[in-house]
Amino acid sequence: MLSKFEYVKPETLEEAVGFLGSHPETKILAGGTDLMVLLRRNLLITDHILDIKGIQDLDRLEYKRGEGLYIGATVRVNEIAENSMIQKKYRALHQAAGALASHQLRNRATLVGNICNASPGADLSSPLLVFNAKVHVQGPEGKRELKIEDFFTGVKKNALEKGEIVTGILLPEVNDGDTSYFKKQSRVKGHDLATVGISIRRTAEKETLVGMAAIAPTPIRLRELEKKLKNRDFNEETAEWLKVEIKHHLKPISDVRASKEYRFLASGALGKKIMMAMIEEGVK
The tens digit of pLDDT for each residue in 88-137 reads: 999 999 999 999 988 898 999 999 999 999 988 899 999 999 999 999 99
DSSP symbol at 110: B
Cα-to-chain-centroid distance, residue 217: 14
Mean pLDDT estimate for the chain: 93
Spatial separation of the C-alpha atoms in residues 30 and 50, rounded to whole Å:
9
Position 272 pLDDT exceeds 70: yes
**What is the pLDDT averaged over residues 223-252?**
96
Whole-number percent of the chain with pLDDT over 90: 82
pLDDT range class, residue 182, cuts 50, 70, 90: very high
Q: Which residue has the higher pLDDT, 193 or 147?
A: 147
Give the end-to-end CA distance of the chain in Å, rounded to a whole number. Answer: 56
pLDDT at 220: 97
Position 189 pLDDT exceeds 60: no
pLDDT range class, residue 221, cuts 50, 70, 90: very high
Poorest-pLDDT segment among 31-40, 53-62, 93-102, 211-220: 31-40
Position 43 pLDDT exceeds 80: no
Domains, the chain, ordered by start: 6-51 (3.30.43.10), 56-172 (3.30.465.10), 179-280 (3.30.390.50)
Spatial separation of the C-alpha atoms in residues 220 and 185, rounded to whole Å:
16
Position 187 pLDDT exceeds 70: no
> What is the dihedral angle through the alpha carbons of 264, 268, 270, 271, rounded to the nearest 10 degrees?
130
Q: Strand 68-72 vs strand 61-64: parallel, antiparallel, or unpaired? A: antiparallel
Spatial separation of the C-alpha atoms in residues 36 and 195, rounded to whole Å:
24
pLDDT at 16: 96
Q: What is the pTM of this model?
A: 0.95
